[in-house]
Amino acid sequence: MKIEIDQSGKIENTSKDTVIAFSNRVFGSIIFKARNKREVQKIFRKTGKHRIFVYHLFAILIFLLIKNHIKEIDQIIIDNEYPGKSATIKDFLLREIRKKQPGFSKDNVLFNNIGKKSRAHYIAYGVAIGKKLSDKEISIKEVLRLFVK
């Protein structure tokens, strides 16, 4: 299964919630509240990793979104939210995916402009503006469990 992933509410904008959604024949969304982003950002600063905060958190949130479907996924197309940082995001994401699916190829994670007509965009934006409910609210504990490994 090929999926598209889109984000609404940039991670670096810590005054707004971040929603990440995926879609194809199945779909889902998660929300990470602004207050939780600020807490995680403080932790990244304390550990001296403030420069990678956005990219690492983005990868962690993508993984938390797709982890229950990872065995069915053949290809992941991520909206190119952070040009020039795709390799960093891919590295963090593959690290987590390969814990569940060791043979997952790096060639199966792509970055492209998804566009506003994508179902993933529609879902993420719908949750962000309150017209849809997210499937799950991600906790700080879930994020930190992956960050500290």
- pTM attached to this predicted model: 0.94
- Torsions phi, psi of 110, nearest 5? -125, 155
pLDDT of residue 149: 54
DSSP, residue by residue, 8-63:
ES-TT-TTS-EEEEEESSSEEEEEE-HHHHHHHHHHHHHTT-TTSHHHHHHHHHHH
CATH topology of domain 2-147: Nucleotidyltransferase; domain 5 (3.30.420)
Domain boundaries, the chain: 2-147
- Is pLDDT at 25 greater than 90 in this prediction? no
Token pair recorded at residue 32: 């990470």
Contact predicate 23/129, CB 8 Å? no
pLDDT tens readout for residues 99-133 = 999 999 999 999 999 888 889 999 999 999 999 99
Q: How many beta carbons lie within 10 A of that of residue 142, not counting itself?
A: 17
